[in-house]
Amino acid sequence: MAKKTAGGGQPSTIEIMITAIAAMLEDLGHVAVGARSPIPGSAAHLARARSGGRLRVSILGSRKHSSFTEGARELFDCAGQGRIDAFFLSGGQIDGQANINLVGVGDIAAYPRAQARFPGSFGSAYLYFVVPRVILFHQEHSPRVLVPQVDFISAPGVSAPEVYRPGGPHALVTSLCVFHFDRERARFRLASTHPGVSTADVRAATGFDYDDAADLPVTPAPDAETLRLLRTDVAMTIAETYPAFAATAWGIGRD
């Protein structure tokens, strides 16, 4: 298994996740990132560096890395106009149809006595419908998170054929692997496993069913130049918006 904290010459699990997400962004024009998405935010900045600055990156809550003057309202307007190519979502639960749960688990109707509460849906359902490439992510890959069916659907992964929906799930990146989402079949396909992770590891840790690829590759680990970018330029850039993450992942800002 890859190390879970950065250090030395070996890539961490976080760095492998960031590199995998960045590879999905380099052909795009404008990527938006939420205020609580440091791994996708790092991936967006890595993809921007690799594109020579061509990729536009807008991070909510950032003073330096967002052109939005009205925050989420302007993000929603841009997305509705087709001016956002990719966005990122996570959830307390994600199921095999790419439904996400950002509300809570257990008997949600019994709130505030529900088993657990999550931060809330905010604009996730809207963005899931209008952004063409929504990449799901989660650092915890376990049956507790990747469930057969979410307890509450904050944002649906699929819609009825008659529903106009230009957006939807593209992939799911976790600490163990990368899944691609087949919108026609409404299910995930295992696309790669991270270095040191077996297909049996993924199957045992996943609560929903999915398809296997015939010749399953290993998720590409970041090369020396990518690691240099991550641990210098990207780390310093992302620290402006996500200082706690930069400190944990790369030691930026620590005394």
Q: Which domain holds residue 51?
A: 13-89+124-139+156-250
Flag whether 6 is in a domain: no
Flag whether 53 is in a domain: yes
Query: Which helix (H) or strand (E) is 238 found in, with range?
Result: helix 235-238
Q: Burial, 212: exposed, middle or buried (Cβ in 10 Å; 0-12, 13-18, 19+)?
A: exposed
User: Above 90 in pLDDT, residue 219?
Assistant: yes
User: What pLDDT was estimated at residue 104?
Assistant: 86
- Averaged pLDDT for residues 121-131: 94
Flag whether 66 is in a domain: yes
Flag whether 1 is in a domain: no
User: What pLDDT was estimated at residue 181?
Assistant: 98
Q: What mean pLDDT is reported for the chain? A: 91
Q: Burial, 155: exposed, middle or buried (Cβ in 10 Å; 0-12, 13-18, 19+)?
A: buried
Flag whether 177 is in a domain: yes
Flag whether 97 is in a domain: no
Q: Can you tell me the distance from the alpha carbon of 98 to that of 128, in angstroms, rounded to the nearest whole number?
A: 10
pLDDT band at 3 (very low <50, low <70, confident <90, very high): very low
Beta bridge partners of 211: 189
User: Above 70 in pLDDT, residue 102?
Assistant: yes
| Domain CATH for 245 | 3.40.1080.10
User: Above 90 in pLDDT, residue 132?
Assistant: yes
Flag whether 77 is in a domain: yes
Query: What pLDDT, in 10s, does the model give residues 4-41?
Result: 344 457 999 999 999 999 999 999 999 999 888 999 99
Q: How many domains does the chain have?
A: 1
